[in-house]
């Protein structure tokens, strides 16, 4: 009996051991949540860095070609390209900012004019307003009979213009950081990648170089062709708006071209804006339908015929994944995240495809 007691006590005190496979899923889940929290919390730093990396991927082939063919120093070609990007951003902002603010002030009046008339909507609005007046009178009667009148609290809030200016200042600071980092990546980004690859084990070096090469090629090809097609759609939309007599046709052309960088949602937003503006500014029904229907025709022709014919490249990702990624990056980083959703998915697609362990994930999200 005495000999068995130590054996039983020893067996009861043996610790429970967990295998590495059982711990991997919780650890990966916590790691993913940590990354998402960091991206959300440090978006003022992470977002300009991401934008700079994507912009450098787009411009790096031009810098390399200028050096190999014309012996232009990287410092010079990188500076010229960054200044051109800055000039384009400033030009687009100057062309859109003033008309957009004016339209924002005119929009409530124009929409109210659309609702004027003997229609079902106006009858319903009249009923609601009469009900609101009756409720207001009853509340005033109760307040007069009360011994103490309620204290009126006035909350002072910033106007939408001041909030917009604050957002604009933050955007300008982030843009300056992104452009500065883009310049340094164009000048010495290749050297940084080579130094990083040298520190890796030899079997992983080819994989990292292949990911960098394919990511750069796909991003440059996607954004270049999409930029040309969107610019053509924007120019044609501006000409159509000018032909039918819409004010500020250049602004609507720019909006139409820039919105097409957002898959699905950009086209729907442009169609809705063109329909509302046409209904406000034009009189006849067929003239109101010209701008939105013309934009639908242009996007159909470009999306289904010209873009595949020009480069033969389409996102090999399920449209559901792209749609969800737009909402995810938009929630994470706002409007800029919506614009960066598809380029980021392009890079993620390349990484998943080139790493053997992650290739099953790529097969799940692929078309």
pLDDT at 37: 81
pLDDT at 27: 75
Q: Work out the mean pLDDT of the chain and round it to a whole number.
A: 77
Looking at per-residue confidence, does 296 or 13 come out higher? 296
Tell me the average pLDDT across 141-168: 56
Is the pLDDT at 54 greater than 70, yes or no? Answer: yes
pLDDT at 118: 47
Is the pLDDT at 145 greater than 70, yes or no? Answer: no
pLDDT at 308: 60
pLDDT at 243: 92
Looking at per-residue confidence, does 319 or 80 come out higher? 80
Report the alpha-carbon distance of residue 68 to residue 202 in Å, rounded: 28
CA atoms within 13 A on the CB side of 345: 27
pLDDT at 222: 74
Is the pLDDT at 146 greater than 50, yes or no? Answer: no
pLDDT tens digits, residue range 218-277? 777 777 777 788 888 999 999 999 999 888 888 889 889 888 888 778 888 899 889 888
pLDDT at 19: 57
pLDDT at 311: 47
Is the pLDDT at 177 greater than 60, yes or no? Answer: yes
The dihedral region occupied by 313, where left means phi > 0, alpha psi between -120 and 50, and beta the remainder, is: beta
Tell me the average pLDDT across 341-358: 81
Report the alpha-carbon distance of residue 251 to residue 257 in Å, rounded: 10
* Most confidently modeled range among 96-105, 325-334, 345-354: 325-334
**Prediction pTM value:** 0.70
Is the pLDDT at 309 greater than 60, yes or no? Answer: no
The mean-pLDDT minimum among 17-31, 202-216, 324-338 falls in 17-31
């Amino acid at each position: 009996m005495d000999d068995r007691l130590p054996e039983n006590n020893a067996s009861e005190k043996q610790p429970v051991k967990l295998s590495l496979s059982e711990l991997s899923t919780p650890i990966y889940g916590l790691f993913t949540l940590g990354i998402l929290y960091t991206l959300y919390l440090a978006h003022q730093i992470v977002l300009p860095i991401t934008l700079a990396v994507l912009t450098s991927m787009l411009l790096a082939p031009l810098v390399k070609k200028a050096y190999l063919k014309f012996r232009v120093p990287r410092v010079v070609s990188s500076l010229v390209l960054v200044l051109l990007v800055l000039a384009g951003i400033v030009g687009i902002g100057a062309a859109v900012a003033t008309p957009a603010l004016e339209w924002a002030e005119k929009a409530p009046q124009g929409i109210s004019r659309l609702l004027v008339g003997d229609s079902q909507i106006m009858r319903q609005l009249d009923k609601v307003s009469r009900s609101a007046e009756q409720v207001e009178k009853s509340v005033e009667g109760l307040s007069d009979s009360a011994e103490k009148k309620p204290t009126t609290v006035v909350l002072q809030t910033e106007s939408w213009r001041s909030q917009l200016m604050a957002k604009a200042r933050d955007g300008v600071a982030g843009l300056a950081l992104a452009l500065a980092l883009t310049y340094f990546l164009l000048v010495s980004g290749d050297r940084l990648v080579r130094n990083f690859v040298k520190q890796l084990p030899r079997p992983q070096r080819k994989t990292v170089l292949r990911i960098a090469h394919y990511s750069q090629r796909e991003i440059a090809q996607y954004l270049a062709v999409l930029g040309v097609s969107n610019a053509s759609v924007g120019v044609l939309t501006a000409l159509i708006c000018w032909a039918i007599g819409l004010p500020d046709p250049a602004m609507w052309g720019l909006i139409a071209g820039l919105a097409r960088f957002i898959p699905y949602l950009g086209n729907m937003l442009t169609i809705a804006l063109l329909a509302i503006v046409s209904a406000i500014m034009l009189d006849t029904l067929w003239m109101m339908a010209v701008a939105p229907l013309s934009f639908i025709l242009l996007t159909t022709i470009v999306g289904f015929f010209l873009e595949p014919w020009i480069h033969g490249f389409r996102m090999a990702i399920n449209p559901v994944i792209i749609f969800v990624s737009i909402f995810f990056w938009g929630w994470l980083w706002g409007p800029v995240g919506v614009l960066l959703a598809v380029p980021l998915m392009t890079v993620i697609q390349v990484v998943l495809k080139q790493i053997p362990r992650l290739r099953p994930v790529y097969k799940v999200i692929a078309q």
